[in-house]
């Protein structure tokens, strides 16, 4: 593969030298930053890992995760992305692969070994990578995907956490400064600074620190409020792409028909485009490139509903194309909710955790993969209590109702279910643990052919 030029921002474009580049690809959710709906556990990654180590023992635990991290994305996966005509992969990672809370600021080489392998595999197939710090010490947002079990984002309040992230990015920038296949650095995924006064100064501090080490690579900066709000960021920084996340209401697990009504709002193609324009207004007003860092529907297994979700995705891709927007679809591989590559339903792994998945769905534990239908009798009295007693209570970021659901479903019940998942692995020895992790290997997975066909058309 010919060595490319380091990508740069050129006005409203991303460019390799004089050639415009539109990045089209996936996010690699669930690999170096595990998420409960992607691999099936309950709660946060750290909770799951502690419980599994307790049940499996050290050797089986280490062998399971070593195999999982090795097989989740390999040369075969990179080749498959290239076969679809895609040219980029956003790689989310948890800070814990690079630093321990017991030894803050001491960077671990193991994290670079993992990242290097995927960066190099992608480069061999002409695929750029965007490095995405998805979970930071102290948690940058209120939800499980920042490895946060509490709904409190302490990162914005404590300088010690911010210092550790700056230190980590200085080391990452040093490591990849000469690698042109790294499109750039996405320093904080979906920040949620509740007061809005810390994110702008932190971004400027971080930009200065990274530029002192690596003056060339693009920064991909998410807006506040889960990458939807940009008015608190100030003027654009040089060689920086601002990234919007553009999930559409009909694509959520509780979404309605498309076109049709979802969460009380009628959504058709015009409304999808209007939302995209609202979320990318900052980029168009400042003359900077547009990159949609996350978007995409979840799939239900119902052919009629899923066909509507394919139509929604096609409309979004056509809109992005019309505005020369780069994009990264969420997510590449999972156990069946969103991925184009999915774990075989008949795998030993999914058969083993099937009772856990059923219970999670019944109790609405997954924020991304389940609804509250099975526990309305629990939630309705709490919702009414808050409506009557605290009518003005609108906590950040999404108001009282979702705050209640976050605490009850995605914190309290999720934490209680962590051991359910771990117990599904009782009696598993080191050899079997490795075989279970093999369920995520490309050779053992299935392809969501309808989604693959849509992406192949969009990438050509």
Alpha-carbon span 105 to 98, nearest angstrom: 9
Q: How far is CA 109 from the centre of its chain?
A: 23
β-pairing, 265-267 with 260-262?
Answer: antiparallel
Sheet of 445-447: strand order equals 333-334, 341-343, 445-447
Buried b / exposed e over 279-311, threshold 16 CB at 10 Å, is bbebbeeeebbbbbbbbbbbbeeeeebbebbbb
Q: Is 294 known to be catalytic? A: yes
157 catalytic per annotation = no
Angle, to 10 degrees, between the axis of helix 303-322 and the axis of helix 269-279? 50
Asked if 223 and 190 count as a contact pair (C-beta separation under 8 A), the reply is no
Query: Counting every residue, how long is the chain?
Result: 460
Q: In what helix (H) or strand (E) does residue 310 lie, and over which residues does it extend? A: helix 303-322
- Residues 141, 413, 424, CA angle at the centre, nearest 5°? 110
| CA–CA distance, 223 with 231 (Å, rounded to integer) | 8
Q: Which of 99, 190, 207, 434 is catalytic?
A: 190
The C-alpha angle 63, 145, 96, rounded to 5 degrees, equals: 50
The count of other CB atoms within 10 Å of the CB of residue 275 is 20
What span, in angstroms and rounded, lies between the C-alpha atoms of 365 and 369?
8
- Helix 303-322, helix 449-459: angle, nearest 10: 10
* Cβ neighbourhood burial of 120 (10 Å; 0-12, 13-18, 19+): middle
Of 162, 81, 130, 143, the residue nearest 243 (C-alpha): 130
- Residues in contact with 302: Cβ distance below 8 Å, sequence separation at least 6, in sequence order: none
The catalytic position among 45, 71, 294, 434 is 294
| Active-site amino acid positions | 190, 294
């Amino acid at each position: 593969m010919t060595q490319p030029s380091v990508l740069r921002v050129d006005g409203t474009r991303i460019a390799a030298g004089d050639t415009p580049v539109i990045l089209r690809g996936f996010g690699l959710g669930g690999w170096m930053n595990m998420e409960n709906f992607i691999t099936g556990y309950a709660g946060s990654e750290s909770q799951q890992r502690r419980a599994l180590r307790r049940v499996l023992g050290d050797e089986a635990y280490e062998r399971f995760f070593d195999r999982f991290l090795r097989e989740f994305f390999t040369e075969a996966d990179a080749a498959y992305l290239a076969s679809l005509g895609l040219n980029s992969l956003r790689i989310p990672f948890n800070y814990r692969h690079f630093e321990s809370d017991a030894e803050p600021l001491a960077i671990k080489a193991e994290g670079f070994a993992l990242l290097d392998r995927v960066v190099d595999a992608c480069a061999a197939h002409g695929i750029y990578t965007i490095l995405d710090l998805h979970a930071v010490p102290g948690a940058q947002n209120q939800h499980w995907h920042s490895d946060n079990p509490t709904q409190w984002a302490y990162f914005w309040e404590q300088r010690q956490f911010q210092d550790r992230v700056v230190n980590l990015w200085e080391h990452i920038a040093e490591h990849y400064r000469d690698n042109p296949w790294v499109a750039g650095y996405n320093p904080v995924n979906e920040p949620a600074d509740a007061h809005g006064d810390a994110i702008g100064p932190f971004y400027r501090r971080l930009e200065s620190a990274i530029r002192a080490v690596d003056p060339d690579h693009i920064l991909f900066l998410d807006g506040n409020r889960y990458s939807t709000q940009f008015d608190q960021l100030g003027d654009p920084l040089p060689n920086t792409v601002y990234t919007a996340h553009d999930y559409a209401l009909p694509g959520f697990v509780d979404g309605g028909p498309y076109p049709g009504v979802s969460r009380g709002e009628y959504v058709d193609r015009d409304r999808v485009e209007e939302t995209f324009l609202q979320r990318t207004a900052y980029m168009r007003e400042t003359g900077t490139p547009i990159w949609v860092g996350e978007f995409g529907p979840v799939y239900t297994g119902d052919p009629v509903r899923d066909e509507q979700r394919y139509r929604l995705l096609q409309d979004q891709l056509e809109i992005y194309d019309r505005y020369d927007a780069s994009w990264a679809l969420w997510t590449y591989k999972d156990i069946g909710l969103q991925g184009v590559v999915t774990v075989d339903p008949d795998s030993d792994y999914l058969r083993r955790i099937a009772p856990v998945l059923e219970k999670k769905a019944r109790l609405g534990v997954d924020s991304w993969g389940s609804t509250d239908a099975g526990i309305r009798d629990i939630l309705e009295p709490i919702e009414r209590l808050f409506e009557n007693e605290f009518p003005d209570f609108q906590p950040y970021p999404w108001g009282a109702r979702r705050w209640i659901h976050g605490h009850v479903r995605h914190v309290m019940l999720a934490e209680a279910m962590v051991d359910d998942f771990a117990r599904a692995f009782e009696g598993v020895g080191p050899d079997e643990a490795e075989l279970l992790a093999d369920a995520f290997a490309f050779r053992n997975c299935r392809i969501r052919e309808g989604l693959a066909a849509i992406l192949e058309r969009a990438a050509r």
